[in-house]
Amino acid sequence: MSMLRICRGIRNNVSSSLTFSRLIHSLQFATIKAEEISGSQPAEVHNLVHGKWMKSDNWNTIPDPLNGEPFIKVSEVDENGIKPFVESLSKCTKHGLHNPFKSPERYLLYGDVSAKAGYMFSLPEVSDFFAKLIQRVSPKSYQQALGEVYVTGKFLENFSGDQVRFLARSFGVPGNHLGQQSHGFRWPYGPVALITPFNFPLEIPVLQLMGALYMGNKPVLKVDSKVCIVMEQMLRLLHACGMPAEDVDFINSDGLTMNKLLLEANPRMTLFTGSSRIADKLAYDLNGRIKLEDAGFDWKILGPDVNEVDYVSWVCDQDAYACSGQKCSAQSLLFVHENWNQTSLMSHLSYLAGRRKLDNLTIGPVLTVTTEAMLEHKNNLLKIPGAKLLWGGEELENHSIPKVYGAIKPTAVFVPLEQILKAEHYELVTKEIFGPFQIVTEYKNSQIPMVLNALEKMHAHLTAAVVSNDPLFIQEIVGKTVNGTTYVGLRARTTGAPQNHWFGPAGDPRGAGIGTPEAIRLVWSCHREVIYDVGPVPRNWQIPPST
């Protein structure tokens, strides 16, 4: 290498370090200020393709979920504008941007990008920026929004340094004769797509996007337009931390346009997080080349051993109503053993639900279900014999939430277990309402088979909780259920998954996980076996008879 090239390399590294150093002390990556986004100062969201930010001629105006003002303008691509995205994705080969035999230095690159981005997230001004930006588009309490930022930052820290290349760890098995060995490798898909929902506008897309990049794929990313501004700013931060701009395309569009893009670009794998209905359509359209983290009607069982009523009540309230119930892991159905009737559980739950207020966003707008739809669901449930309203069931008071969104008080409806199991009621009771709404029922020891029957009939198996320290009871329930992320023990919950364990459904071969090395390998890579057979050929070998 010439001295000139060495000097240039040193200068580039120093320049990169100085740029990152300056970023540490400011938000130079950001193009907006979260607190200033308003109807009078609307923010703009652009698209990213071929490594360049671009606008389209079509603008989708997003209403402020708290007052209805048009506060974000999203540059959306229509069906006539997808060609650059199709071309960009098509440039990526099936063997990806890197793999164990090709450009392995990129594993180190992404370890470095993750280290820098993780450090950025540890800075109060950066974490506060993203927490407040999340609050603006998907209103939740500051603590809930900051928790999402914290998990994202810890994930980035987890995959810094050598941890990215460790994801691609291979194994070898001795062969049948001298010179033969088989090696198993984790291989990228190449061109991939990633579609994520509104409720976790930072955590879900970042964790899945980085997993795709770590394994050597080139993703096109689409985030729900209501919240896409969060990932636009995140991509700018990643660029500032050294991510090549050409590695990710970012598109804003409606569902029909994205569907056409998928059909024309033909990604080798698509990750979809969202509703079961759209998931099933995509699975059909894409001939099964898809991984899903779809809807979850999640259950919790309070076992016969009663302990720590205050704590259990608080966790139940958090699981059902934090983020206004807009979590795919939210507690949707609570089975309460009759022994809990001797306690203050229900009065505690009613009190905790009632103390949630709009002014601190511990209850807030529901972005996918209207007030009328949720109240109609409540009324339909109350027609079931023995059903009763436990708390809530009313529209929020003194609010300015636009009618396109929902605004109800935290709500619970009691439905007898026998009625839940009836064919004419089961689908209604287990209908997922993506809002602050739960079903409560009661059971006795003799009715545990009925509880298990109710769980067996469900079609979505995401999270679950068995609140009990009785090992035999836990064994009975866990052994006869299938939910992919199941918490057991006195402190069991359904929500609040950190970055250090698998989160995802089970019981479906299309199921996707998130967060852990196992999840990344499962979703974003496939197995490739390479068999080395170099000889030598035995001395005096002769051609054998045909077989």
Active site residues: 293, 328
Supply 84's token pair. Answer: 């650059």
Number of H helices, E strands in the chain: 18, 20
Find, among 4, 53, 382, the residue nearest to 235 by Cα.
53
255: Cβ–Cβ under 8 A, 6 or more apart, which residues? 278
Supply 524's token pair. Answer: 């974003």
110: Cβ–Cβ under 8 A, 6 or more apart, which residues? 159, 164, 210, 213, 214, 243
**CA torsion 203→209→215→217, rounded to 10°?**
170
CA distance 45 to 76: 9
Distance set, CA 544 to CA 95, 238, 535, 541 (Å): 38, 60, 18, 9
- Write out the H or E segment, with its range, that includes residue 442: strand 437-443
CA distance 147 to 105: 33
Find, among 183, 316, 228, 212, the residue nearest to 44 by Cα.
228
- Write out the H or E segment, with its range, that includes residue 229: helix 228-240
Q: How many residues does the chain have?
A: 547
3: Cβ–Cβ under 8 A, 6 or more apart, which residues? none
CA distance 366 to 374: 10
The answer to whether the beta carbons of residues 82 and 257 sit under 8 Å apart is: yes
CA distance 478 to 458: 15
